[in-house]
Chains A and B, each alone.
Chain A
Amino acid sequence: MAFFIIARAAFGYLFLVLIVRIVGRRPGKQLTPFEFVLIFYLGGLTLTGMVGEEVSLTNAITQIITVALCHYLLSFLRFKSERMARILDGVPLVLMEKNSWRHETLVRMRIQDDDVMHTARQQGIKDLSGIKTAVLESYGEITIIPKKEK
């Protein structure tokens, strides 16, 4: 039935958005092999349920349009509502400020001081004492604001 084909595509897309959102962000500019496997494996498994044995071009076109429409709707809601933007993207989180770690954030986001130092080194900061503020951005990257040299 045509309805089920469209419903499967919409459900698959929205379910994947939820899964990727709650699996959590890991620091880094690029996908780690760990995340690479996760994304492709999830995509493949979702595709099995969405397509099944029905491999017609009509199904593919309607499902692609459905996914595009869902994506457009989420983007629209994200633009219109700040709350929706927070739900979909998350919010930046401070990891370190005023020479102290935000322990709760580090534990809940599964981030270690090594991850922060990794980004700091890329900016030429030699040790943690050179960091003024460290922020985990909503897209997963860690931003370092260095202390001003006296």
Chain B
Amino acid sequence: MAQPFRMPVVDSVPKVADEVAVGEDLKFQRKWWMFERVIWSFFVLVLLCDLLGVFGRGWLAKAKRSTPDQALTLDYERVERSGSPSVMTLRFGPAAAHNGHIQVFVGNEVIRGLGARRISPEPATSALTDGGITYTFDSGSTPTIAEIALQPMFPGKHKIRIQVPGSEPIETSVLVLP
């Protein structure tokens, strides 16, 4: 018959005052207390950064880019959060209007990478073009401002491109946090 596995009992737990086996390790505990202090400081720092907008949704995250002729000014957030809705604002200047229409090309990275849900006001036409979508707004309802509702789903850095025909493109990047 097989013998059950046995090990001798060894009094390995350190004792307090040579009487009570407690297993206290103050050296380790002091290191842990120090670690806790560092972690709490780090957490406070994270919250401060969050309030300032380092992780999006705040002052530091807001950005503005314009074309040299002021045909297009883009208000956006440098840092977005995955799954969180936000708005990218396109402001059109007089140089954006041609023959009573305003056209704007929005690159695929805005559509897919930043999860563009809708553009308002409703454009008269939208056409698939190479690398993105070109929206056309009628002169009768010429918007000076168009807003693109975003809800990015893919974390990472996304290089975006938005252009009004006849002007230089605005190329920038947006970081999407998980």
Is the beta-carbon distance between A4 and B25 smaller than 8 angstroms?
Answer: no
Give bound CA distance, A93 to B23, whole Å. 8
Select the stretch in A36-44, A66-74, A84-92, A114-122 that faces chain B. Answer: A84-92
Closest B-chain residue to A53, C-beta based?
Answer: B83
We find that the number of chain A residues with CB closer than 8 angstroms to chain B is 23
Is the beta-carbon distance between A52 and B83 smaller than 8 angstroms?
Answer: yes
Residues in B whose Cβ lies below 8 Å from that of A87: 32
B28 at the A/B interface (Cβ < 8 Å)? yes
The number of inter-chain residue pairs (CB within 8 angstroms) is: 47
The minimal Cβ–Cβ distance linking A45 to chain B, given in whole angstroms, is 14
Is the beta-carbon distance between A91 and B25 smaller than 8 angstroms?
Answer: yes
B169 at the A/B interface (Cβ < 8 Å)? no
Give bound CA distance, A87 to B25, whole Å. 12
- Partner of B36 from the list A22, A53, A91, A92 (CB cut-off 8 Å) is A22
Give bound CA distance, A97 to B29, whole Å. 18
A145 at the A/B interface (Cβ < 8 Å)? yes
A29 at the A/B interface (Cβ < 8 Å)? no
Contact A22/B178 with A86-B28, A145-B20 known, Cβ cut-off 8 Å: no
Residues in B whose Cβ lies below 8 Å from that of A132: 20
Give bound CA distance, A91 to B29, whole Å. 7
Is the beta-carbon distance between B83 and A86 smaller than 8 angstroms?
Answer: no
The 4 closest A-B pairs by CB, nearest first: A91-B25, A92-B22, A22-B36, A133-B20
B residues sitting closer than 8 Å to A (CB atoms) are 16-17, 19-20, 22-26, 28-29, 32-33, 35-36, 39-40, 83, 154-155, 178
